[in-house]
Amino acid sequence: MLSVGTLEPGKNRTQLLRAMALLRDSGVDCHLVIAGQPAWNHRSDYDLTDQLQLRNRVKFLGYVPALDMPTLYSGALLLVFPSLHEGFGLPILEAMACGVPVVTSNRSATAETAGDAALLVDPGDAAALAEAMELLLGDAALRADLRARGHAQAAKFSWQRTARETLQQYERVAVS
């Protein structure tokens, strides 16, 4: 499994790490790779990983260059993105474009970005997060369905469309 984003509290790695401990304790053999450069209060992620005795299941990569991200996404069975507050949630679309099923928050912009192409969970509930992760890990048909829906969802977004719609908004405001 993969988690992407800076190491800071808003990315909600606390609940993700707790979910990993729940999976381990229920006998699920899985590993998590976290890609993102350290930011404010990042030590707490490392400390909690040690407290929960997850060092053999969780790997912190640090910063990963943008050119390497498609390879990293493509090697993942699923993306877990339980962010508490996001302005958009670009890693969700990046994963979907690479054919990776997604588990993400049912809050903030992540739910809107994901649409019906991801499993949405309460990011404050480690048990719900663990349940969604376990479901995706164990259900190849669900992963295939979310992969297909994810490709369709990601295709709805492009930088060209964003630029065009932004220009249209500026033109509407300028005319008013």
Fold of 2-175: Rossmann fold (3.40.50)
Residue 129 CB coordination number (10 Å): 27
What mean pLDDT value characterizes the chain? 94
Position 106 scores a pLDDT of: 96
Closest CA to 101 of 82, 74, 126, 121: 74
Q: What is the pLDDT of residues 137-155, one digit of tens each?
A: 999 999 999 999 999 999 9
Q: What is the pLDDT of residues 58-114, one digit of tens each?
A: 999 999 999 999 999 999 999 999 999 988 999 999 999 999 999 999 988 999 999
Q: Give residues with Cβ within 8 angstroms of 33, minimum separation 6.
A: 1, 2, 3, 58, 59, 61, 72, 76
Sequence ranges of the domains in the chain: 2-175
Position 143 scores a pLDDT of: 98
Instruction: With a cut of 80, say whether residue 159 has pLDDT above it.
Output: no
Instruction: With a cut of 90, say whether residue 133 has pLDDT above it.
Output: yes
pTM listed for this prediction: 0.89
Encoded tokens for 152: 């369709």
Instruction: With a cut of 90, say whether residue 176 has pLDDT above it.
Output: no
Question: Which pLDDT band holds residue 122 (cuts at 50, 70, 90)?
Answer: very high
